[in-house]
Amino acid sequence: MNQFSALLAAAGHVLDASLEDPVITGMQIDSRKVVQGDLFVCMPGMSQDTHAFLPMAAENGARAAVVYSEEGRLAADALGLSSFELAPTDYSETLWRMCDLCYAHPTRSLKLIGVTGTNGKTTVAWLVREMLRILGYSTAYIGTLGFQLTAPDGTSVVRELDNTTPFCVELYHLLAEARAAGVEAIAMEVSSHALDQRRVDGLEFDVSIFTNLTQDHLDYHGDMATYEAAKFRLFEDFPNHTEKQTVAVLNIADRIGLRWADQLSSPVLTYGTDLELEDDADVVGLEAHIAVDSVRFELQEAEWRTAYHFRLGGAYNFTNLVSALAALAVVPDLPIEWRSILAARSEEVAPVPGRFEPVPNQRGIGIIVDYAHTPDALEKLLAAVRPLTSGRVICVFGCGGDRDRTKRPRMARAASQASDLVYVTSDNPRTEDPDAILVEVMTGVVPGVEAVPIVDRREAIFAAIAAAKPGDTVVIAGKGHENYQIIGRTKYPMDDREIAREAVQ
């Protein structure tokens, strides 16, 4: 526990000597979660003035507050809270330093594996966590699938998160919670937004994994160079701020990964598969036998050549598995026999929810639900399905509202080039007109390919499965594990997997 002044001093700030200097036991940005002894942080730039939540924070036991205006400071003072006014531009630099001290540098004592890239982050982070669990470690996962941990006593925690990589205060709170539960290793997704907004600053990574870089989030980053620079921070900046020897694990089948391998001064391990590589890599996946629901292959790394059999289908999961195994090769202090242990138990690695997830049925058709929501991801998904399908490939997909509009025709092109029949539908339309989104998407359909626009996603999935004949594969892309659809600003219950199961009945 630290006094408020000590937390501020860690970030180079001084508490007014006339104010009370309470001991702070935790930090929160959600007033509903504040408990006795917490510091409440009013975040700027939200949809409303977060100073309005100061009374609830005080009522719940907050002792101090960080605010971003004089009005906020006066409101905190009136509630008896010791306060510090911080310029909004200083938040990113200040908060991580305060959090790191408040929670006693949580990642110094944890094995921390970060995964970044356009596609594959969720799968690779999940696989790393699963593999470490099988090797006997108490583990946690932070990412698109929420916050999940398994403690040494068998206790499990599963919690949804609002962001792939949470904001700094929430993230440090989760890391401290995991450490307190006895977790030894954490695999987490590190988004480009989080890197750009400095949500993950101060974390000390043992391993940083790069999967690939293709067009996405240009509505936020503006151009590919800025997007790449945000990702690159994980590999260029973070190793300079830890006593750990962070190893960069780079996919050199991707041209960005290949270039970074030459640029970085910190330790690098390269990987790829024999299906993709043009240059030699340190870790290579070989001789894959790929099915809808499994992959068998051999992994060559240094003097080891090990055979694995996993219950994940699709060619790109071959790459994801190689990525996770390459990372394990440089995780500190794994038992020397980890390869043989994992090879013997590889079928116990649980598949990732909503990532190339099959929907079993008695109709003789394949049904795959997947999160692919970028042109590159959809292209790779359909390329993985085609060689496993004797009949037609039928694709259902949509594009989200209030997001990068330039990828809408590109998504349609990717779907129609690789499918025999396409159903264009809604994803999360948010505040945009869903009919207008479909019009933009349809402009990218390849001439001559049948594409049916159906705004209602449930109706589109039912139509696709009704059209399927034995030997066909229906690919339902874009939402994967998500069990909701956002229309306007409201989340409505909707799960592609449940809808598909209803449709086949």
308, 324, 348 - which closes a domain: 348
Residue 469's domain is classified under what CATH number?
Answer: 3.90.190.20
- pLDDT band of residue 380 (cuts 50, 70, 90) is confident
Q: What is the mean pLDDT of residues 413-434?
A: 97
Statement to judge: residues 380 and 253 lie in one domain: no
pLDDT digits (tens, 9 = 90+) for 67-126: 999 999 999 999 999 999 999 999 989 999 999 999 999 999 999 999 999 888 999 999
The per-residue pLDDT for 216 is 60
CB 210 within 8 A of CB 119: no
Mean pLDDT of the chain: 94
**Amino acid at site 359:** V
Statement to judge: residues 190 and 292 lie in one domain: yes
Statement to judge: residues 77 and 217 lie in one domain: no
Q: What is the mean pLDDT of residues 324-349?
A: 96
The range of the structural domain enclosing residue 44 comes to: 2-102
Statement to judge: residues 415 and 362 lie in one domain: yes
CB 404 within 8 A of CB 413: no
Structure tokens at 95: 């908060």
Q: What is the mean pLDDT of residues 25-41?
A: 96
Structure tokens at 146: 């929420």
Rounded to an integer, what distance in angstroms lies between the CA atom of residue 107 and that of residue 202? 9
Question: CB neighbours (10 Å) of residue 87?
Answer: 10
- pLDDT band of residue 217 (cuts 50, 70, 90) is low
CB 485 within 8 A of CB 494: yes
Structure tokens at 226: 């800025």
The per-residue pLDDT for 351 is 84
Quote the strand ranges of 144-259, DSSP E. Answer: 146-150, 156-159, 185-189, 207-210, 247-251
Minimal CA–CA distance to 76: which of 27, 26, 19? Answer: 19
The per-residue pLDDT for 417 is 97
pLDDT digits (tens, 9 = 90+) for 350-375: 888 898 998 989 999 999 999 999 89
- Is the pLDDT at 46 greater than 80, yes or no? no
- pLDDT band of residue 283 (cuts 50, 70, 90) is very high
- Is the pLDDT at 313 greater than 90, yes or no? no
- pLDDT band of residue 49 (cuts 50, 70, 90) is very high
pLDDT digits (tens, 9 = 90+) for 128-172: 999 999 999 999 999 999 999 999 998 899 999 988 888 999 999
Statement to judge: residues 96 and 115 lie in one domain: no
How far does the chain reach from its first CA to its final CA, in angstroms? 57
Q: Which helix (H) or strand (E) holds 10?
A: helix 4-10
Statement to judge: residues 305 and 196 lie in one domain: yes
Statement to judge: residues 92 and 110 lie in one domain: no
Query: For the chain, how many structural domains are there in total?
Result: 3
- Tell me the pairing of strands 64-67 and 23-24: unpaired
What is the gyration radius of the CA atoms in the chain, in angstroms?
Answer: 24
- Close Cβ partners of 136 (under 8 Å, ≥ 6 residues apart): none
